[in-house]
Structure 1
Amino acid sequence: MDRRAFLKLAATASGTAVLSGVPLMAAAQAKGGVLNVVVQPEPPGIMIGIFQNVPSQMVGGNIFEGLLRFDADLKPHPLLAESWESAADGMSHSFKLKENVLWHDGKPFTSEDVVFSLDKMLRETHPRVRNFLTAVESITADGPYKVDFKMKHPFAPFIQSFEVGSMPMLPKHLYEGTDYAGNPVNSAPIGTGPLKFAEWQKGSFLKLVANEQYHEEGLPSIEAVYFHVIPDGASRATAYETGKVDVLPGGSVEYFDIERLSQLPNTEITTKGWEFQGSQCFLWLNNTSKWVSDKRVRQALMFALDREAMRDIAFFGYAKVAPSPWNSSTKYYTEDIRQYPRDVEKAKELLKEAGYDGSPIRLLPLPYGETWQRLAEIARENLSEAGINVEFTATDVAGWNQRLGDKDYDIAFSYMSQYGDPALGVARLYTTSNIIKGSPWNNVSAFSNADLDALFDAGAREVDEEKRARIYQDAQALIAEEVPLAWLFEMIWPTIHRANIKNLISSAVGLNDSLGRARIE
């Protein structure tokens, strides 16, 4: 099978739930069995109101829930909310909550938990939610099962904000009046989800077990999930081959191993379950460093990079060269903007105009394994061909976080999710208000442009789809000219699993909220 055919197969592999346009309802399922899943790296914590990184979300997203779930077309479906209404002008929203939902400790889930989660705790602990909620004037409980939102101004993707990773519902009775970060409940979280925390052997595994009081009839279908911490890609591949684990989530094995592992008996592969994240790989470009602050140098970097070679050599075809700073799954995506095909001579010309003198430019690789190291080496080779002197500043994950947060780099690899709407996952990378020292998850490039800020602000407030589209097309065109960061690829994350595991992916966030709905045949 050639790579193109294989990728097509991967994208449509059987054994996954049909997501598009189908309500995310529980079906009658036989119960039983244990799932063994790789988690990589070991999460720093699993209370996702505080920890928002990928492994934390995968574990914690099956403990906690949002008001809504989203299918592959990013259409909302009831979960903790059974219905919702929005005013035509976007100035008010209300949610009717499902009754008889219990927290894992047996306490009832009510509107007071929603108000506390959003108006108190997440405003303090979750930077992305804090940005969303700047548009909200008030959040009030109208009885135990209704919540009303009054807006300061419209926020177009407001309903789309209510998935579990963005707005997890948190138990007021366990967190009110406490030090949120230091609360001991964080080490054994209490949610409403189909799985509940059981055990964590640091460096070895986390265990979740079935929530027998879950509010959806017939679920969960499995008895337990073990998340295995296995430190390197080769060992994770071996764990699958030997039967220690049943599921290899996207990114858990090296890309060169994917095709071989997918051909094993009783094995299927799918790229479903990442529609909401819409991850894009890019190079942060530090707009405060001597040379990278020059737009001509940033444009030269784009022209010098051989993104097709990077895709084929580092990702073995499991990536799509990005024509836009928007992911193609993000609303209002357009390719009708300035493009940067590889052109080494054009890069040299721009560098000459900028007066670049061959001074070292520090490249910070992403410390996530061999794939990312190869990617950095290809980039260094590409840039050296254009006359750019690249020096690696390799570090571990903690050091990478620190350097980005302190703006102590020149260029750096990363990838981030876009969440289907530019107001949710794109604006944070570019707006001046999001230049915040100490965090690697905001405007790390420190790019500041008043026109772009105005476009992002207008786009978030506009409820007319045609007007929104024009605003965000203008934003893409401005970014394509200024190159605040170097957009490289749309990430493809193949999940490999045993073929007898059914319904493994049942939403747009995949394993992050689907494991309690999987069944073993």
Structure 2
Amino acid sequence: MKTRLSLLAAAAGLFCAGAVGAIAQEAPPVKGGALNMIAQPEPPMLMVGLNTQGPTLYVGGQIYQSLLTYGTDLKPLPSLAKSWVVSDDGLTYTFTLQDNVKWHDGKPFSADDVVFTADKFLREAHPRWRLIATTYVDSITSPAPNQVVFKLKKPFSAFLHAFELSSFPIIPKHLYDGTDYRTNPANQTPIGTGPFKLKEWKRGSYIHLVRNEDYWKPGKPYLDELYFRIIPDSASRAVAFEKGTVDVLRGGDVEGFEVRRLIKLPEVENTTSGWENYAPLVFMQMNQRSMPFSDKRVRQAIMHAIDREFIVKNVFFGLGKVATGPFASTTLYYTPDVPAYPFDLPKAKKILADAGIKPADYTIRLMPLPYGAAWDRMSEYVKQQIEQLGFKVVIQGVDAGGWSQKLADFDFDLTFNFTYQYGDPALGVARHYLSNNIIKGTPYGNNQNYVNPKVDELFGLAAGAVSKDVAAKAYTEAQKIIVDEVALGWLYEMQNVTINRKKVKNLVRTGIGLNESMDEVWISK
């Protein structure tokens, strides 16, 4: 009990320390200097339109931008769109773009780039936008060089929340139109509108970005350079921060026990702010295309076989909360009124026995999420628990790029994932359960092959509802069905801590945190 209480107290201390330092600003901004961070693991690419893994967003967020960003209150804020108007019937969205924006290669940015991005590039390459565009968007036009108009087929209450960086990164038409997007050489030399440009990527060592001198915000960015260091070992990352080699640690950069130690260092502050728009939730994906996972009773048994409290407290050192289902408890339309799966090995074994399922007949390939030692430990624990049911489990390790590819190709039995909820379940949650989002080649849709027409109907009803009461009723019913059928194996809601030296100012300013353009970040002398 003492260990449990100390872990929870440490976590509570982190969270209370939270929001203070991130917004403090004692003096006018100072121009110049380099900010050192960590890209963990090393991203497979920086082209956000083709890869939305966390490390890609972290680095790519300084290169690419979207029409909007979002505050910690989840309200939309200007980015490449300086203003927007929504028609009374909720079917027409008109965005007016910022003036004098250029791509990093000097070409002018215009509404044509936005239309190309929305109507061509992302329709093909982006699972979330494809789903939105196919289901709701009737037309995308540019009546003027600085204006884009989206007309919808039917109301979509979440539409104004669909323009965050990873959901809608704007792509240069002049480099991608008419090409094979995935093999385009520009993927290796990304060109965006953001405050920083790629100068050098020394694989296995660092990614170096430099100030965009033609940035559309006058006088910004304040910093001259950003370095994203590649440091594979978690202990070495902690040492690098302690010695001053790096200035910022992002959630997941170091182990939970290191977080507790590092936040106590002098001239260091921490915050849990900056994740409001994402609310990441960790789950298991069990491929339902064949046995054993095509039988929901197997999925139910596995949920009972895993002690999720143990995972949160002992693998991730209290930095999280056990999940009850597909919606994070901090997000819209969450309900706790769903079937529960308490840790109960005898019950798990009985479920399998009553179903006549012989676990020894099956070998399960478990593919860890390649994001560090904690995820490896969780894989070992889950393997151990599933083997107690009688299944044979083989761990198949891959790097970040390989994991994404195998998930996209449906070449897995069991893996882990955490995905972002994007402020509204119609954007971040529904994509994992809608049967029309089972699309080979994209890693962040319904990759487990869950199909239930009633759930499709309920998500559609909720997304198009004008009344919040109607949406809430539909989402509540959907959650109950999904949890009963264990469409995914929900584990826990992540709690991420950003740690930085106090000399780094304005680091976390919005609900997308460190993925936000760092054009207002500066370093005090």
Q: TM-score range by the shorter chain?
A: over 0.9
Higher mean C-alpha displacement, 135-144 vs 439-448: 439-448
Q: Which residue in the other structure is 1:126 paired with?
A: 126
Unpaired segments of 5 or more residues in structure 1?
19-26
Q: Which residue in the other structure is 2:42 paired with?
A: 42
Deviations 1:384-434 (A, max 9, x none): 45x343412322135544543444443322222221211111112112112
Q: Does 1:9 align with 2:13?
A: yes
Q: Which residue in the other structure is 2:244 paired with?
A: 243
1:277-316 equivalence runs, <5 A? 277-316=278-317
Letter in 2 for 1:392: V
Deviations 1:426-462 (A, max 9, x none): 1121121122334432212211111111112222222
Letter in 1 for 2:419: M
Q: Is the 8 A contact 2:386 2:393 kept in 1?
A: no
Q: Which residue in the other structure is 1:206 paired with?
A: 207
Q: Does 1:367 align with 2:373?
A: no
Letter in 2 for 1:206: I
Which of 418, 421, 425 matches 2:424? Answer: 421
Distance 2:417 2:222 in 1: 36
Q: Which residue in the other structure is 1:396 paired with?
A: 398
Deviations 1:322-352 (A, max 9, x none): 1221112332111111122222332232122
Residue 477 of structure 1: how far off its partner (Å):
0.8
Give the direction of change, closer, same or farther, for the CA distance of 1:406–1:143 in structure 2 (3 Å limit). closer
Aligned residues: 512
Residue 173 of structure 1: how far off its partner (Å):
2.7
Give the direction of change, closer, same or farther, for the CA distance of 1:409–1:203 in structure 2 (3 Å limit). closer
Give the direction of change, closer, same or farther, for the CA distance of 1:440–1:165 in structure 2 (3 Å limit). closer
Give the direction of change, closer, same or farther, for the CA distance of 1:319–1:388 in structure 2 (3 Å limit). farther
SS of the aligned residue for 1:424 comes to: helix
Letter in 2 for 1:153: K
Q: Which residue in the other structure is 2:116 paired with?
A: 116
Letter in 2 for 1:130: R
Q: Does 1:379 align with 2:382?
A: yes
SS of the aligned residue for 1:137 comes to: strand
Q: Which residue in the other structure is 2:501 paired with?
A: 498
TM-score (ref. length: structure 2): 0.92
Which of 400, 413, 417 matches 1:410? Answer: 413
Q: Which residue in the other structure is 1:336 paired with?
A: 337
Q: Is the 8 A contact 2:312 2:320 kept in 1?
A: yes
Q: Is the 8 A contact 1:247 1:495 kept in 2?
A: yes
Q: Which residue in the other structure is 1:161 paired with?
A: 162
Q: Is the 8 A contact 1:365 1:372 kept in 2?
A: yes
Q: Is the 8 A contact 2:387 2:393 kept in 1?
A: no
Q: Which residue in the other structure is 1:79 paired with?
A: 79
Deviations 1:166-219 (A, max 9, x none): 111222233333333333333222222122222222221111112233223442
Residue 226 of structure 1: how far off its partner (Å):
0.6
Letter in 2 for 1:199: E
Residue 13 of structure 1: how far off its partner (Å):
4.5
SS of the aligned residue for 1:8 comes to: helix
Letter in 2 for 1:317: G
Q: Which residue in the other structure is 2:140 paired with?
A: 139
Q: Which residue in the other structure is 2:512 paired with?
A: 509
Unpaired segments of 5 or more residues in structure 2?
none
Give the direction of change, closer, same or farther, for the CA distance of 1:9–1:514 in structure 2 (3 Å limit). farther
Distance 1:47 1:404 in 2: 19
Give the % identical residues.
47
Letter in 2 for 1:312: K
Distance 2:368 2:52 in 1: 21
Q: Does 1:70 align with 2:80?
A: no
SS of the aligned residue for 1:181 comes to: helix
Higher mean C-alpha displacement, 485-494 vs 103-112: 103-112
Deviations 1:216-270 (A, max 9, x none): 3442121110111112212212221222111121111222322122222222222
Q: Which residue in the other structure is 2:263 paired with?
A: 262
Deviations 1:111-138 (A, max 9, x none): 1221122112222222221112111111
Give the direction of change, closer, same or farther, for the CA distance of 1:256–1:16 in structure 2 (3 Å limit). same
